[in-house]
Amino acid sequence: MTNLVELGKSGIKVHPIALGTNFVGGYNLYGDVNEEEGKQTVRDALNTGVTMLDTAFIYGPRRSEELIGEVLKEYNREDVVIATKAAHRELDNGDMVVDNSPEFLKQAVDDALDRLQTKYIDLFYIHNPDEDTPKDEAVEALYEMKVQGKIKAIGVSNFSVEQLAEANKNNQVDVIQNHYNLLNREAEKEMLDYTSANKITFIPYFPLAAGLLAGKYDKNTKFEDLRANLPFYQEDQFKENLDKVDKLIELARKYDEDVAQLVLAFYLTRPSLDVIIPGAKKGEQIKENMRAADIELDPKDVEYIDEIFKMN
């Protein structure tokens, strides 16, 4: 059985493979969102042994949390770890601004509790840093929510290492969620040193580079959803990246796995990177991704993957 891992210093234990749910109700991100299919994917994940779901106010907006709240009622609440995020405040004209003010964040926790139809949220993140609010004050607001029992652990997302250090002045941050994958290893420069030294779990988003690192696209694949705008999908970069991914196909065969599982297993060899949130859309993909937690990579293969995707 796969060992569960702790989120920071929170005492909350989860399976290392969680489910990213930005496509569940995420009309603002994906063109072909089907709510029933989204809910079924969440059920498939929980029935397969995934214990943590990653959502956010902005997925939908609101709709991802609402749909997850509906599915949650079918399960024992304590068997599911819910992570959600907020920082976007909607203006009267529908535009979103980022707001980390204590007042806004505390209201955001209450609103998310309503949408998720639950009494507590296991992990609540500040989704993006704003320009004005001192980071420790923003975290202190969430700490108040923690003391009141409304949330159980505190996270930040899209924070630089300096912003994280400011946020973590009182050692209250359990998790950081930032962009990281084999095509963007920026976090390996300083961030993972800081998170390891401070017992903060680093959760990478876009772990499969939105599918590119799953080894199933070729030079002719076209994208009409959020992928059309991602840097690693732009013409020259896309071809270069596909060549790198091709090199993993043979290695994956050695483990009798697909490229996606190999890539996820590689991440779990990084310090403090203990949980991954691949955004699988199908039950089959979830089962495959879960296997990554049990792959023991030969250190020579870890070095080989490291070499192929070396940062400049």
| DSSP assigned state of 173 | -
Pairing of strands 13-14, 5-6: antiparallel
Which one among 145, 191, 260, 273 touches ligand NAP, defined by CB under 6 A?
A: 260
Residue with Cβ nearer ligand NAP (109 or 182): 182
Q: Is 187 in the site for ligand NAP (CB under 6 A)?
A: no
Nearer to ligand NAP, 65 or 166 (CB): 65
Radius of gyration of the chain (CA): 19
Distinct helix (H) and strand (E) counts, the chain: 10, 11
Residue 279 binding ligand NAP, by CB under 6 A: yes
Q: Is 285 in the site for ligand NAP (CB under 6 A)?
A: yes
Q: Rule CB under 6 A: is residue 281 a binding residue for ligand NAP?
A: yes
Interatomic CA distance for residues 8 and 10, integer angstroms: 6
Which one among 207, 248, 262, 275 touches ligand NAP, defined by CB under 6 A?
A: 207
171/190 Cα distance (integer angstroms): 18
Q: Which whole-number Å values give the CA distances from 152 to 47, 53, 174, in the listed order?
A: 24, 15, 10
The first and second tokens of residue 127, run together, are 């989704």
38 binds ligand NAP per the rule CB under 6 A:
no
275 vs 5, 50, 154, 270, 280, CA distance in Å? Answer: 8, 11, 15, 11, 15
Which position among 205, 232, 267, 309 is part of the footprint of ligand NAP (CB under 6 A)?
205
Q: Is 17 in the site for ligand NAP (CB under 6 A)?
A: no
Among 22, 41, 84, 133, binds ligand NAP (CB under 6 A): 22
Residue type, 84: T
Task: Answer yes or no whether residue 64 interacts with ligand NAP by CB under 6 A.
Answer: no
Which residues does 56 contact at the CB level (< 8 Å), separation at least 6?
Answer: 22, 64, 65, 84, 85, 86, 125, 127
Identity at 203, one-letter amino acid code? I
CB of residue 21 to ligand NAP, shortest distance in Å:
5
By the rule CB under 6 A, 158 interacts with ligand NAP = yes
| Dihedral sign computed on CA atoms, order 145, 163, 186, 197 | negative
Stretch that binds ligand NAP, among 104-112, 145-153, 238-246, 275-283 (CB under 6 A): 275-283
Rounded to a whole number of angstroms, the minimum distance from the CB of residue 147 to ligand NAP is 25
- Pick between residue 109 and residue 126 the one whose CB is nearest to ligand NAP: 126
Which member of 214, 245, 262, 265 binds ligand NAP (CB under 6 A)? 214
| Assigned token pair, 69 | 């709240």
Strand duo 88-90 + 96-98: pairing: antiparallel
Q: Residue 277 interacts with ligand NAP (CB under 6 A)?
A: yes
Q: Which residues bind ligand NAP (CB under 6 A)?
A: 20-22, 54, 157-158, 177, 205-211, 214, 216, 260, 277-281, 285, 288-289
